[in-house]
Amino acid sequence: MVGMSGGVDSSVAAWLLCEQGFEVEGLFMKNWEEDDDEEYCAAAADLEDARQVCERIGIRLHTVNFASEYWDRVFKYFLEEYQAGRTPNPDVICNREIKFRAFLDHALELGTDYIATGHYVRCKASPIEPGLEKAHDRNKDQSYFLHTLESQQLQKSLFPLGDIEKSKVREIAREQAFRVHDKKDSTGICFIGERKFRDFLKHYLPGTPGPILSTEGETLGTHEGAMYYTIGQRQGLGIGGQAHLPEGAWYVADKDTESNTVVVAQGQRHPALFHSCVLTETIHWIAGEPPADMNNLAAKIRYRQPDQRCSIQVRDDNGYEVSFDEPQWAVAPGQSVVFYHQDRCLGGGIIVGREA
């Protein structure tokens, strides 16, 4: 059962599996209840694109509504994290709770042996040594977003695009006359899509204006609500040039929802934007246990970041301290720190703090 989104990646994934001799069916998931005509039309268009591809390939398309599961397991967490002053990654939670739990369970109930998606990752599904590995196309590798998966889920999952370049995927889609061959890749919030993010968040979490402070404590402007801002953010601060200060871009260095303050630093290389130590309360290991050596690893604190050398130590409070060889820019609590050994994705945890 292939998760069909109406995009080019899942379409080609389904075609490749048919070519490999699998008996394939597709499933389109509706996970968000639209509240306006524009969003309704976008979802309807995606479903129609999925239908066209399935008809072209000659496979059956199922539909299912996971909107209540998405709200309870993903979106409520998303709002709670923002309200607490953190910056969550909904794609990570969505993969764990919807694509590889609700979808997997539903597909197994329908009698399928495996699920498949258009993710760019490679899977070693051996019961002795289960593992998730980076995709051949490093620019598209999505292992960062799948680090919360467990070996049992991986053993039931196929990733047909793991060894293929994105350009080849689009070439296949053109050759098969899929009308989605040049469709723009989806971005924005998982299953919700592209929106004016702050306006969207205000609908659920009304903000209270507060001061924007420099790292020296000087008031430079007013923000719309500390929860709306992300560490490292440059756009949308509205503080412009300060006549009494030298010119230079400003970046969010810290925020506090209790005092409703946002702290900004001038210049991308400002020391307040760098931290060598990341804290996490728990780490999920895909293999079920940590590696024997936790002093020679690599990690990412954001998608597309090059691997950063690090080591992991257990803290007295049973949390974990991740020490990087080089200071990391714009460490954002709520995001994930994901660990690697060469191409193998080992797992990861949610960032709860950072230290110099």
Residues recognised as catalytic: 94, 190
CA atoms of 231 and 261, how far apart (whole Å): 13
Residue among 157, 133, 158, 163 nearest 147 (CA): 133
Q: Which residues contact 57 (CB under 8 A, 6 or more apart)?
A: 14, 15, 18, 24, 176
Q: Is 285 helix (H, G, I), strand (E, B) or coil?
A: strand
Residue among 156, 148, 162 nearest 1 (CA): 156
Q: In what order do the strands lie in the sheet with 157-158?
A: 61-65, 26-30, 2-3, 115-116, 157-158
Tally Cβ neighbours within 10 Å of residue 207. 18
Burial environment of residue 200 by CB neighbours within 10 A (0 to 12, 13 to 18, 19 or more): middle
Task: Give me the amino acid identity at 205.
Answer: L
Q: Is 322 helix (H, G, I), strand (E, B) or coil?
A: strand
CA atoms of 90 and 190, how far apart (whole Å): 6
Q: In what order do the strands lie in the sheet with 219-223?
A: 219-223, 210-214, 261-266, 250-256
- Residue 6 is encoded by which pair of tokens? 């109406």
Phi, psi of 211 (to 5 degrees): -80, 145
Q: Are 318 and 331 in contact (CB under 8 A)?
A: no
CA atoms of 295 and 304, how far apart (whole Å): 23
- Residue 213 is encoded by which pair of tokens? 């402070």
